Structure 1
């Protein structure tokens, strides 16, 4: 039986308090995970982060962090890479304070590089990050590079696997909407999800996964816009995803990135619970 948690990407829609108290609200909603958003910079204080950690532990809500969007470890500009390195160092430090089990980030863009060249630049930047964190004594973190939604970005599934295979303190984030958009809609049935899990297990030897899910609109270039889960005009399909995570035997955290972050996370949890209940009746 899988251990599956659902939660929002950021503060719940109707939550008016401080981020350090968000886990209490999330628990009361019936959810079990929270992805703190540092998308425009790591601004949380050490004290607030420590209080967030305590709140998460008191409520058994699993915390992750999304590092700033302005990260490009494969840039053709060295100053951009240096700022990206500093942002990820800040994110790792704050993740340690708040007890975040994953620090999610987007690796970068190809720009004028080939995939291999962009990967080499990314890996070189990561080596610098790891060296600096060791000097700073930061140890309790796991970077989680995310599958990216635009075809101009470094971060297809194979590239994320390659990054995670190359470094300690790295585990993947699979954004299933991004995989769907980047492949121009090639996730259509449960077997398509199963192939992703099997590939991760075969190549990384893992049976746990941090993930993102929403419905998404895409163009030939990839990701365009996130949509609500009950909008059936867009994919990837939700029901076969729920069935796969319920039966695959993995420990999975599903962070909802739809416009209705916590409300749609509850939609997913309800569907998941109903599927398990129906199984027991058979």
Structure 2
């Protein structure tokens, strides 16, 4: 299956355990699920393994969003150490649940230049990988995400550099964040094509984990996510889907609008309609 769509977290009207979410998502006609560990990795090993089993039987691709409280470029060493441990915990849980990507926000520039912040982040990543190696955790793939605020480490070039520097790293492109960070920088299919072309040229990939929603922004970047039905905000959806179809990549699209699963269905329906037209 080349292109998959799914929600960032449990579907809106789903009230069961995470291990049962895949069956609900499959029944909605979706085929991806990003498990949210945004406030800490709290899932037990047994529940995570149940989620893995369910994802396989339902053919729903699982990814994980690591905790929000991560800053690998902090000017405080204790913050970096706690961030390292949260990502180590995330990788352990991701291995249990069979998550194919561990999405995380790399950090903030704080008092550093972007170049200095990236160096601190890379040093922390080296420590993470060393610790995982010592623990025997092997089945994981970190997916640093493009960030939406200009104060954050994580523009597209920085994400590419992180992924180029380490094994078991692949990018997460949040197209809304790219749009917001660049002051509305995505307006057409050519803008999307430029991102895919850059990833292919610099990382040699043809597979992408991505996030999508409409977004409100200020001069500082991201402000608020909006539903896809609110056309006052971008980035535009149809050119995005057209570019996915044209480029032929394997793409997972995780919906982060306030209507996480319902808008994921909107995206998948548009994808199916446009494929028919080809």
> 1 CA distance for matches of 2:177 and 2:17?
30
Tell me what 2:35 maps to: 36
The structural deviation recorded for 1:184 is 0.4
The structural deviation recorded for 1:186 is 1.2
> 2 CA distance for matches of 1:87 and 1:175?
21
TM-score normalised over the length of structure 2: 0.99
Unaligned runs of 5+ in 1: none
The structural deviation recorded for 1:278 is 1.4
**Please, which moves more after superposition, 194-203 or 270-279?**
270-279
Tell me what 2:185 maps to: 186
Q: Deviations over 1:178-208 (max 9, x none)?
A: 0000000010000000000000000000000
Tell me what 1:59 maps to: 58
**SS of equivalent residue, structure 2 residue 162:** helix
Tell me what 2:246 maps to: 247
> 1 CA distance for matches of 2:144 and 2:276?
34
Tell me what 1:74 maps to: 73
**SS of equivalent residue, structure 2 residue 215:** strand
> 2 CA distance for matches of 1:243 and 1:277?
12
Alignment length, in residue pairs? 278
Tell me what 1:147 maps to: 146
The structural deviation recorded for 1:246 is 1.1
**SS of equivalent residue, structure 1 residue 25:** helix
TM-score normalised over the length of structure 1: 0.98
Structure 2 residue 176 is the aligned partner of structure 1 residue 195: no
4+ residue runs over 4 A deviation: none
The structural deviation recorded for 1:167 is 0.2
**SS of equivalent residue, structure 2 residue 216:** strand
Unaligned runs of 5+ in 2: none
Tell me what 2:135 maps to: 136
**SS of equivalent residue, structure 1 residue 255:** strand
